[in-house]
Amino acid sequence: MSDSSHTGALHIVATPIGNLEDITVRALRVLKEADVILAEDTRHTRGLCAHYDIHTRLESYHIFNEHGKCAGLVKRILSGENIALVTDAGMPCISDPGFLLIREAVAAGIEPDILPGASALLFAVAASALPSDRFAFHGFLPVKSGRRSTRLKEIADSKLTAVIFESPYRLSKLLNEIPEYFGASAPVAVIREATKLHQEILRGTAAELSEKYGRKSWKGECVVVIGSADGTMEEYEAE
């Protein structure tokens, strides 16, 4: 354990997923007071900082360098540095960098300061109009066909409302896969560009969305929420 009197801090800060107004007052204060902001893409975070007149130094921290940087960052915190971690959008660790640094910090006796905020995951669950008393988040699906098929079958067999992040380049493929694994009548919602100017929420059965949008060229951040074809709200409503 470190001597807390000389230890800095690690702040895990949620940032807007689109609309720049979706950031907390505490997050703004922490970003202004930090010695450095670790950013997934410094160019992206620089725009947020400029909008709120934040002049804290930015440092790159992303999936390609996080393994090599964690140990050094922990040492810097233990020596008194005040570090804030952000990603391009939403909550760090949710299909974004953050877990490795948090794990190493906790192992070193540093308790991270978690600042909650905007989340594409929670936005999609609420916007889907599907049962949300229990749901499972699956992040991004595998790209390779064998692993992808196995994962989709596992998700469908769970019978829980499923939340999936998908690249716009593979969204049409997913919409055409859903009827096969979940059934043609499974309810589906596609949330695109949440909180942004061109936000779009599409709802329908798996068959309907596949037929209508299965060949569309998509752009932007996309989240797909899938309900069980034979699921009901009866148990939820009874509570």
Phi-psi region of 159 (alpha: psi -120 to 50; beta: other; left: phi over 0): left
Domain 120-237 in CATH 3.90.1150.10? The answer is: no
The tens digit of pLDDT for each residue in 164-212 reads: 999 999 999 999 999 999 999 999 999 999 999 999 999 999 999 999 9
DSSP string across 187-229: EEEEEESTTSTT-EEEEEEHHHHHHHHTTPPP-S-EEEEE--T
d(C-alpha 61, C-alpha 116), whole Å:
19
Q: pLDDT grade, residue 230 (50/70/90)?
A: confident
* Residue whose tokens read 């950031």: 23
The residue ranges of every structural domain in the chain are 9-115, 120-237
Note the helical H segments in 83-194.
Answer: 99-107, 120-127, 145-158, 171-182
Superfamily of the domain at 9-115 = Tetrapyrrole methylase, N-terminal domain (3.40.1010.10)
d(C-alpha 185, C-alpha 205), whole Å:
5
Q: How many CA atoms lie within 13 A of 149 on its CB side?
A: 4
d(C-alpha 37, C-alpha 188), whole Å:
37
The tens digit of pLDDT for each residue in 46-76 reads: 999 999 999 999 999 999 999 999 999 999 9
